[in-house]
Structure 1
Amino acid sequence: MIIDPESSKEIVNEAKALAPEVYKDVAKPALQEVGSVAGRTVKAFLAPLRGLLWGWERIEDFVETEVKKRLDKIPEEKRKSPEPEIAVPLLQALTYTAQNETLREMYVNLLANAMNVDKNNVVHPSFVEIIKQMNSLDAKVFDELAKINAYQKILNPRITIKGQGKFFTGATPEWYAGWTIEGYSEFDVSASLVRLSKFGLIELMFDRTAGKDGYDSIRSTPFLRSILNKYQTGNADLELEIGGTESIVYVNEYGIQFKNACK
């Protein structure tokens, strides 16, 4: 996180102010003393956020520069003012998300497309709310899925006891397609897939397959093999294997529209 100079000064000032306050309150009841210290500390922790909240002047300069790059590629006769139900909440959201490069790009692309006559049937006000609910991981997972316009194989893996129909709960992610996003765990990606489904952008279809080929390669990934080895080591008396349900995931029509509006 980058902290601007003014926020840094605020933290330093708060720290300086904290020391005399502690000594001054020594004779007071413990509960009151803790409350005073805690109050100061919370304010100091929150101070860096001031630098992340962009004012309209900064938003206006940034948007003008970035949107112009995109509008320059659009014939002048195809340009128009964006609908307020898209532009207003979008610009408001940028005041507190502009520091997130991934989401910022999606917002700017959406705004530029809202100013393109040819994109009228693609851009929708609900897309602003979807981006507002996303984090960087969600955006990256969706981008990965949206590279393929077809059913994609995904597994609901389990570490099972062979021949007994029993399995270890919580050992594996709920959904696993055989890949992850750098900097995030497979469990993080699984949770993101569920969120994207809740947003209405993708379909997670449990126990539905698109052919049988490909699932074995997911089961044999180093990630699942390492989990199996861990449980085999801790349960030497049991015969364990990687089981689970073969399923599919795909980006639906709404998700495809969202992709086209935000790229």
Structure 2
Amino acid sequence: MSDSESNIQSTSQAIAQFVKDVPIYPDLVQPTAKALGEGLGGLLEWLMQPLAILGIKAQINKKKIMDQLTAKLEEKPKDDLISPDPIIIGLTLQALAYTINESDLREMFVYLIGAASDKKIASSVHPAFVEIIKQLSPNEAKLLSSIYKDAGKIVVDSAMPVLRARMQSEARDGSEITPPIYSFTDFDSISSTSLSVDNLVRLRIFQLDWSREIADERAYSTVFSLVQNNEKKIRQQYSKDIERVESLLGSGNLRLGYEPGLLKVTTFGAIFMERTLK
């Protein structure tokens, strides 16, 4: 038996102890000896029982998960591998049953198991990370992965430019007419990207700050260009919002302006991304 297989088997034993002490589904039978003997794959099949009871046919690509997990474990020095916290592994395997066909979410769970199996970083793997992944859409997982790769290394308080288009007077009295516009979006995706970031802010991965802006104005060049090149579309798409502001302030001296802000990575968010993304 290889070292990676041995660690996977110890993971199976950890899950067995977990379900013995804290039954996940009390009305279901405990894992059979056969399931335990099949290792992680057998336990994945056992954990799918709730879906079977609900009448939902779930397709499990056990080989892909096993291949990804084995590859992740083999990246680590043998002496650093430990049996992961049964709470983490139990919650993760349950969640995998529901996201088995979503490659981006599935990969985040596999990386989380890998982090929980590394004695150097296992203490920083929080059970809440499982719940966060469960509350992400596949597009949000892609967005996080893209931001993480572009950053190279996530640093706490890393700032990304954001702005809102607004109708305002020369004295800058006015109101925003668009949702936040980020440098990592295009015009047609402004609303959907804003919704995704709102969810990531809710989950405390990011913090949106309109009281400050990035000192180097060049950081806003991409998002400024996006708005300026689509001013006609903005006036058309957000015409009702423009009318709302004009009804309050009058239309005489109003012009399209911008309110800059910044999107920061929280301490919690930086650790989450480091433990769940490659």
TM-score category, normalised to shorter length: 0.5 to 0.7
Shift of 1:164: 7.6
Q: 2:129 aligns with which of 118, 127, 130?
A: 127
Q: Distance in 2 between matches of 1:143 and 1:156?
A: 24
Query: Contact conserved, 1:228 with 1:241, CA < 8 A, in 2?
Result: no
| Closer/same/farther in 2, CA of residues 261 and 230 from structure 1, 3 Å limit | closer
Aligned: 1:204 with 2:198: no
Q: Distance in 2 between matches of 1:126 and 1:185?
A: 29
Residue 208 of structure 1 aligns to a residue in which SS?
coil
TM-score, normalised to structure 1, is: 0.67
Q: Which residue of 1 aligns with 2:46?
A: none
Shift of 1:67: 0.8
Shift of 1:84: 1.3
Q: Distance in 2 between matches of 1:219 and 1:94?
A: 36
Q: Which residue of 1 aligns with 2:43?
A: none
Q: Distance in 2 between matches of 1:255 and 1:178?
A: 19
| Closer/same/farther in 2, CA of residues 246 and 223 from structure 1, 3 Å limit | closer
1:45-95 residue CA offsets vs partner (Å, 9 max, x unmatched): xxxx944x24xxx46544322211111122222212111111111111111
TM-score, normalised to structure 2, is: 0.64
Structure 2: tracts of 5 or more residues without a match: 1-54, 244-250
| Closer/same/farther in 2, CA of residues 246 and 164 from structure 1, 3 Å limit | closer
Q: How does 1:11-22 map to 2 (within 5 A)?
A: none
| Closer/same/farther in 2, CA of residues 135 and 229 from structure 1, 3 Å limit | closer
Q: Distance in 1 between matches of 2:143 and 2:274?
A: 16
Q: Distance in 2 between matches of 1:231 and 1:161?
A: 16
Residue 180 of structure 1 aligns to a residue in which SS?
coil
Q: Look up the equivalent residue of 2:81 and give its one-letter code.
A: R
Aligned: 1:86 with 2:91: no
Residue 220 of structure 1 aligns to a residue in which SS?
helix
Q: 1:138 aligns with which of 137, 140, 151?
A: 140
Aligned: 1:179 with 2:184: yes
Query: Contact conserved, 2:85 with 2:116, CA < 8 A, in 1?
Result: yes
* Identity percentage of aligned residues: 24
Q: Which moved more, 1:65-74 or 1:143-152?
A: 143-152
Q: Distance in 1 between matches of 2:222 and 2:255?
A: 14
Bigger Rg, which one: 1
Q: Which residue of 2 aligns with 1:157?
A: 165
Q: Look up the equivalent residue of 2:178 and give its one-letter code.
A: T
The count of corresponding residues between Structure 1 and Structure 2 is 206
Q: Which residue of 2 aligns with 1:226?
A: 230
Q: Which residue of 2 aligns with 1:243?
A: 257
Q: Which moved more, 1:226-235 or 1:64-73?
A: 226-235
C-alpha RMSD over aligned residues = 3.0
